[in-house]
Amino acid sequence: MYRKNLLKKKLLEGQPTLSFWSHLASPIAAEIMALVGYDGAVIDMEHGPVDYLGATTLMQAMSGTSTIPIIRVPSNDPVEIKRALDTGVGGIMVPEVNSVAEAEALVRACLYPPQGKRGAASVLNRASSYGLDNVKYLEENGKELLVIAQIENLEAVANLEQIAAVDGIDVLFIGPNDLSGDCGKVGDYSNPIFMEALAKAEDLIKKSNKFLGGLPRACDSAGAMLERGYDFVISASDVLMLRDAALLDLKTNRELSN
């Protein structure tokens, strides 16, 4: 559904933002999280169970809130990106953007000609309020869209300065899990190769005209990331919040009953 992107506006005004992962594929959970007041909701189609119809339902559940929906597509595929954009998302997140060519391909997939190569059927889709805002939607051609490229391996870090120079990308998002895996072992955040790559990536992004994005780890809280200059932090997951609250409840009450 066509609307102004309050998340992007906040970033452009220099304010840090907090988003959550939507992994449960539950409209009720998404609505609750959005009502709490997160700036964005990342509907995960790379590692989550939801399809495009399900993603649309999640967005409908959040439409009465200020939370801006983002879809993480499975890959840097123009067909996947096109389908995600047609649902009316406020942001698109793409994994494994490793080179200038891949970054440029991502931007082209997000924009209609002449700036890009996105296929046009906007008059039919939710993105233009099913054609009710079609003229305005076509005129803006991506201006309200937040484009997020994930930096997830050493090749991407090596090419980061050039990737950051690509017009049309708003956020460069460091994926620590995959980056640690590329450095030797998933989750080994004490590996000197990982630590050097992370520090280099953070420094280069902060020196660029892009926003710095990432997610916390056990050894690196959202608060610590914001203090280091992160602009876009995905600080929570509906799955992890439910799991951890349930574990704590069971542990607490089991102990009381013994």
Cα dihedral 218, 229, 106, 98 sign = negative
Q: In whole angstroms, what is the distance from residue 39 CA to residue 22 CA?
A: 13
pLDDT band per the 50, 70, 90 thresholds, residue 255:
confident
| DSSP strands (E only) in the chain | 17-22, 40-44, 68-72, 91-94, 146-151, 171-174, 211-214, 232-237
Nearest to 100 by CA among 171, 182, 164: 164
Mean pLDDT of 142-161: 97
Instruction: Exactly one of 47, 185, 228, 243 is catalytic; name it.
Output: 47
Q: Distance between CA 93 and CA 118 in Å, rounded?
A: 16
Residue whose entry in the numeric block shows the structure tokens 């995600």? 84
pTM value? 0.96
| 82 burial via Cβ count (<10 Å: 0-12, 13-18, 19+) | middle
What is the Cα gyration radius of the chain?
Answer: 19
- Per-residue pLDDT, 2: 75
Q: Please measure the distance between the N-terminal and C-terminal CA atoms of the chain and give it in whole angstroms.
A: 53
pLDDT of residue 192: 97
Cβ atoms of 97 and 106 closer than 8 Å:
yes
**CA dihedral of residues 42, 43, 46, 49 (deg, nearest 10):** 150
pLDDT, residue 9, reads 97
| Active-site residue, 47 included | yes
Q: How confident is the model at residue 256 (pLDDT cuts 50, 70, 90)?
A: confident
Tens digit of each residue's pLDDT (9 = 90 or more) over 7-58: 999 999 999 999 999 999 999 999 999 999 999 999 999 999 999 999 999 9
Give Cβ neighbours of residue 37 (< 8 Å, ≥ 6 apart). Answer: 65, 66, 67
The token pair at 193 is 């190769």
Give the CA dihedral 82, 83, 84, 88, nearest 10 degrees.
Answer: 90
Question: Taking Cα atoms as reference points, which of 131, 149, 171, 163 lies closest to residue 7?
Answer: 171
Q: What is the pLDDT of residue 102?
A: 98
Instruction: For 64-82, write each residue's pLDDT tens digit.
Output: 999 999 999 999 999 999 9
Q: Which domains does the chain have, with CATH numbers?
A: 6-257 (3.20.20.60)
pLDDT for the residue numbered 77? 98
